Chains A and B, each alone.
Chain A
Amino acid sequence: MTQPKLTLSGISKSFPGVRALHEVSLELYPGQVTALIGENGAGKSTLVKTLTGIYQPDAGTITLDGKPVSLSSAHKAFELGITAIHQETVLFDDLSVAENIYLGHAPRTRLATIDWPKMRSDARRLLKDMGAGHIDAEARLRDLSIANKHLVAVARAMSIDAEIVIMDEPTASLSHKEIEDLFVLVDLLKQDGKAVLFISHKFDEIYRIADRFTVFRDGEMVGKGLIRETSQSDIIKLMVGRNVDHIFPARTPSIGAPVLEVKDLSHPTEFDSIGFTLHAGEILGFYGLVGAGRSEIMQALFGLTKPSRGTIALDGKALSLGSPADAIEAGIVYVPEERGKQGVVVDLPIFQNVALPSLKKTGRNGFLRLAEEFALTRQYTERLDLRAASLSQNAGTLSGGNQQKVVIAKWLATKPRVIILDEPTKGIDIGSKAAVHAFMAELVAEGLAVIMVSSELPEVMGMSDRIVVMRAGRMVEMLDNNNLTADRVVRLAIGAEEVAA
């Protein structure tokens, strides 16, 4: 048996309030592709950033060829021969193909200036060897398709003679044909004896290209093995893992009258013919992979994007939503996924964040009344058990979980009919997670209608009354959440065929 090229053991990494990686291990073998599999938020990206020297692990060791190494900076990782090809390539759009390939290690003349003719001819030869001779070495990268940009990234990996190549969802935006071309290159890398780490959600790709797999769940390594000895269902079981209902509030759903009716909602590029009815007292979960179009639908319901077709009706009345202000007025509010950018204004105090959409109510004739703002803020933040030193503290100084409480308090203060939560517990600690879940249960018990977008299967299955599964901008299925298996939901979302029972 071959020795691993690179070994990670006991790697841990925490961020304030979040434990991203907990004593994970990973081995990469020369001439083999190892697939890293896990749900969103399982810690895959953190691991990639650790490997490329962007994050420093809190604990654990990394050994390369049996010798312990420290990846103290991106440059160090690069010197040790580790390179990454990302989902959205991080190359330089305004530089030429040859410059992108040789940036940082360009051939030099005797005067230590860049040897341009040599660089260009080297780049041309390299691309030709890869079977990518159709790419002009002098073209600007901006003018290339995403697939060709990936090829340039691979060429760069070959040119620095990287021993370890990390491919982070490289196929996410490629066509079928382009994916095949990329796989030919991966085979090339294998033949060259490179160790490849391949991250993907797509099982057909993993089975097509990988030799080994490692599964992460909630920041822990939960299984590894050889692909050819393991079935899809075994891997899905590892991904989904734990018993899904143990941390979620028990509740007896009392579904009321229809509140929100969406019919044939479509967008030119993001989603197509979405239709569902949301009832009072109901939690409707939206599950799917990142990029399935869930957030885009929610932003259309919130008036941020204009749908090309379809209707949205609240209490039987058709809505025309030109802006979030219209949606809020109608009673639809949205807790966005990007909390720090879209949810809270980090440099303003808590009370100003909470009162922002309610200024008409707290103020009088357009004039502010601070006492009313503080009272409103206190009323809702106390209900959510916010932990803060004072209500005048800037929202950015709070932990992720408490920032989320500020956003939710802001919306509850507007007394909405429908509340849309987009990845409501992403990146927040366990305690706040439980508080948010408990609170969601409380809200629906009071007759509010809730839409929850989540990529965390346990959360979707633990909280929802019904689940909409989305894939590539379309609703695959609307499921009643009883006797559902996690297996089934994941299969629908990733498009893996059903195994005949």
Chain B
Amino acid sequence: MSNDAPTHRNIPDRLDSPLRAAILSWPALLLVVAVIIFTVNSFASPYFLSPWSLSDATFNFTEKAIIALAMALLIISGEIDLSVAAIIALASTAMGLALQYGADTPALVAIGIGTGLLCGAFNGALVTRLGLPSIVVTIGTMSLFRGLSYIVLGDQAFKGYPASFAFFGQGYVWWVVSFEFVLFLGLAVIYYVLLHRTSFGRRVYVIGNNATAAQFSGVRVERIKFLLFCLTGLMSGIAAVLLTSRLGSTRPSIAQGWELEVITMVVLGGVSILGGSGSIAGVVIAAFIMGLVTFGMGLLNVPGIVQSIFIGLLLILVIALPIVLGRLRRLRK
């Protein structure tokens, strides 16, 4: 009963147009939120709209956002890295140590980035080789990395970074546009391409959706997860260079608590904490939202603790809103 004349049914590629999908997407909603916050800010404070103010605002989030780009991929793949802030501390300490031995600026940068990469590889090896859950591994290495930094520094600080080193965290590429900001935008484009335009990115999504099916389809799951941990470590190393350069010193408490802000950024950006979905566009807009909110509130002299309360509420609101609306819609039916 073989079918001699196969019927050629034409199954269309897509039903919804990509444009329609983009308009209804999470990043689009975030963009609306970002515009609202921008407008509110500009009415609330007369200083907000000046170019230099806006430039300062970017310093609030670029370093965290650079880590958030890699963290987004890691969370999409179903893993997480809670040690990113501790990696900054260790990488910064390594740079400070190298400074004591007379390292020049290129060497400092290489050491900072290299330390980050090594820490990421260490996390990745523990997760993929030993098969441990990443949340446990990185809670452990979070204490380990920062602990090492405390052992080296105690209550001391490394100071006296060379003047040429200051460019990374304090320099401007053109007018009010900082080096950090340009680097962030460049990396955002690279991560966008990596996640959305390459086979590697596709495999990241597949792993996050169903790691077993991915493995059964020939995806080298462990290798890709290892690379994602390395990337997150690498980005933390870059953030360590930027932050150390901006502050001009290294203390063991540097970047304390950043891991939560980075993860908040990623989740606010629409990446599912359970893995499998999310986009770089969402994470980039979420980074801007968090930067604008904290800077706007800073201008209004709102204390830091209240700012974090507001960020927390914003996160819950933005996550809950679509779920609640969806439920209402279903109830009406």
Contact call B209/A345, Cβ cutoff below 8 A: yes
> Which residues on the A side are within 8 Å of B205 (C-beta)?
348, 352
A4 CB within 8 Å of chain B = no
**Known: A325-B219, A341-B210, A356-B219. Contact between A368 and B202, CB under 8 A?**
yes
> Which residues on the A side are within 8 Å of B9 (C-beta)?
382, 385, 387
Q: How many A-B residue pairs have CB under 8 A?
A: 113
**Known: A323-B220, A325-B218, A385-B7. Contact between A351 and B197, CB under 8 A?**
no
Of A325, A344, A381, most buried by chain B (CB within 10 Å of CB) is A325
B50 CB within 8 Å of chain A = no
8 chain-A/chain-B pairs, Cβ below 8 angstroms: A250-B1, A327-B218, A329-B218, A389-B11, A390-B11, A390-B12, A390-B13, A442-B2
In Å, the complex CA distance between A304 and B215 comes to 9
Contact call A378/B210, Cβ cutoff below 8 A: no
Contact call A352/B2, Cβ cutoff below 8 A: no
A249 CB within 8 Å of chain B = yes
In Å, the complex CA distance between A336 and B2 comes to 24
User: Closest residue of chain B to A352, judged by CB?
Assistant: B202
Min CB distance B19 to A, Å, is 14
> Which residues on the B side are within 8 Å of A268 (C-beta)?
none
Contact call B15/A343, Cβ cutoff below 8 A: no
Mark the stretch among A7-15, A24-32, A358-366 that contacts chain B.
Answer: A358-366
B200 CB within 8 Å of chain A = yes
Min CB distance A418 to B, Å, is 14
In Å, the complex CA distance between A329 and B219 comes to 11
Which 9 A-B pairs rank lowest in CB-CB distance, beginning with the nearest? A359-B199, A328-B218, A325-B218, A392-B14, A342-B216, A390-B15, A345-B210, A356-B217, A357-B218
User: Closest residue of chain A to B220, judged by CB?
Assistant: A325
Interface string of A305-347 (1 = CB under 8 A from B): 0000000000000000001110111000010100001111111
* Contacting residue for A351 out of B13, B213, B214, CB 8 A: B13
Contact call B218/A386, Cβ cutoff below 8 A: no
Q: What is the size category of the interface that chain A forms with chain B?
A: 35 or more
Chain B contacts with A in 263-318, Cβ cutoff 8 A: 276-277
* Contacting residue for A341 out of B202, B212, B219, B220, CB 8 A: B212
B156 CB within 8 Å of chain A = no
Interface string of B199-238 (1 = CB under 8 A from A): 1111101100110111111111000000000000000000
Contact call B206/A356, Cβ cutoff below 8 A: yes
In Å, the complex CA distance between A388 and B201 comes to 26
Chain A contacts with B in 70-122, Cβ cutoff 8 A: none
> Which residues on the B side are within 8 Å of A388 (C-beta)?
11
A383 CB within 8 Å of chain B = yes
> Which residues on the B side are within 8 Å of A390 (C-beta)?
11-15
> Which residues on the A side are within 8 Å of B215 (C-beta)?
304, 323-324
**Known: A324-B217, A324-B218. Contact between A366 and B198, CB under 8 A?**
yes
Contact call A357/B3, Cβ cutoff below 8 A: no
Contact call B216/A334, Cβ cutoff below 8 A: yes
A441 CB within 8 Å of chain B = yes
**Known: A328-B218, A367-B197, A391-B11. Contact between A347 and B276, CB under 8 A?**
yes
Chain B contacts with A in 15-50, Cβ cutoff 8 A: 15-16
Contact call B2/A341, Cβ cutoff below 8 A: no
User: Closest residue of chain A to B205, judged by CB?
Assistant: A348
Q: What is the size category of the interface that chain B forms with chain A?
A: 35 or more
> Which residues on the A side are within 8 Å of B201 (C-beta)?
368
Interface residue SS majority, chain B? loop
**Known: A345-B209, A347-B276, A391-B11. Contact between A324 and B216, CB under 8 A?**
yes
Min CB distance A319 to B, Å, is 15
B8 CB within 8 Å of chain A = yes
User: Closest residue of chain B to A346, judged by CB?
Assistant: B210
In Å, the complex CA distance between A351 and B3 comes to 24
Known: A345-B213, A348-B209, A390-B12. 9 other contacts (CB 8 A): A304-B216, A324-B217, A324-B218, A328-B218, A345-B209, A347-B276, A363-B198, A392-B14, A392-B16
Min CB distance A245 to B, Å, is 12
User: Closest residue of chain B to A322, judged by CB?
Assistant: B220
Contact call A344/B213, Cβ cutoff below 8 A: yes
**Known: A325-B220, A438-B1. Contact between A381 and B11, CB under 8 A?**
yes
B326 CB within 8 Å of chain A = no
Min CB distance A419 to B, Å, is 14
**Known: A348-B205, A390-B13, A441-B2. Contact between A360 and B199, CB under 8 A?**
yes
Contact call A378/B2, Cβ cutoff below 8 A: no
B6 CB within 8 Å of chain A = yes
A434 CB within 8 Å of chain B = yes
Min CB distance B135 to A, Å, is 22
A residues at B contact (CB < 8 Å): 249-250, 302, 304, 323-325, 327-329, 334, 336, 341-348, 351-352, 356-357, 359-360, 363, 366-368, 374, 378, 381-383, 385-393, 410, 434, 438, 441-442
Min CB distance B224 to A, Å, is 11
User: Closest residue of chain B to A350, judged by CB?
Assistant: B11
In Å, the complex CA distance between A336 and B216 comes to 8
User: Closest residue of chain A to B207, judged by CB?
Assistant: A345
In Å, the complex CA distance between A385 and B6 comes to 8
> Which residues on the A side are within 8 Å of B200 (C-beta)?
366
Min CB distance B14 to A, Å, is 4
> Which residues on the B side are within 8 Å of A391 (C-beta)?
11-14
* Contacting residue for A368 out of B12, B199, B213, CB 8 A: B199
In Å, the complex CA distance between A324 and B218 comes to 5
> Which residues on the B side are within 8 Å of A385 (C-beta)?
3, 6-7, 9
User: Closest residue of chain B to A364, judged by CB?
Assistant: B199
Contact call B217/A357, Cβ cutoff below 8 A: yes
Min CB distance B179 to A, Å, is 29
> Which residues on the B side are within 8 Å of A393 (C-beta)?
15
Contact call B13/A392, Cβ cutoff below 8 A: yes
In Å, the complex CA distance between A341 and B8 comes to 30
User: Closest residue of chain B to A249, judged by CB?
Assistant: B1
Min CB distance B25 to A, Å, is 14
Contact call B15/A389, Cβ cutoff below 8 A: yes
* Contacting residue for A383 out of B6, B11, B209, B212, CB 8 A: B6
> Which residues on the A side are within 8 Å of B206 (C-beta)?
345, 348, 352, 356
> Which residues on the A side are within 8 Å of B219 (C-beta)?
325, 356
> Which residues on the A side are within 8 Å of B15 (C-beta)?
389-390, 392-393
User: Closest residue of chain B to A441, judged by CB?
Assistant: B2
User: Closest residue of chain B to A362, judged by CB?
Assistant: B199
In Å, the complex CA distance between A377 and B9 comes to 13
**Known: A348-B209, A352-B202. Contact between A382 and B216, CB under 8 A?**
no
Min CB distance A48 to B, Å, is 27
Contact call B213/A374, Cβ cutoff below 8 A: no
Contact call A368/B198, Cβ cutoff below 8 A: yes
In Å, the complex CA distance between A13 and B133 comes to 41
* Contacting residue for A342 out of B6, B198, B199, B212, CB 8 A: B212
User: Closest residue of chain A to B3, judged by CB?
Assistant: A438
Min CB distance B51 to A, Å, is 37
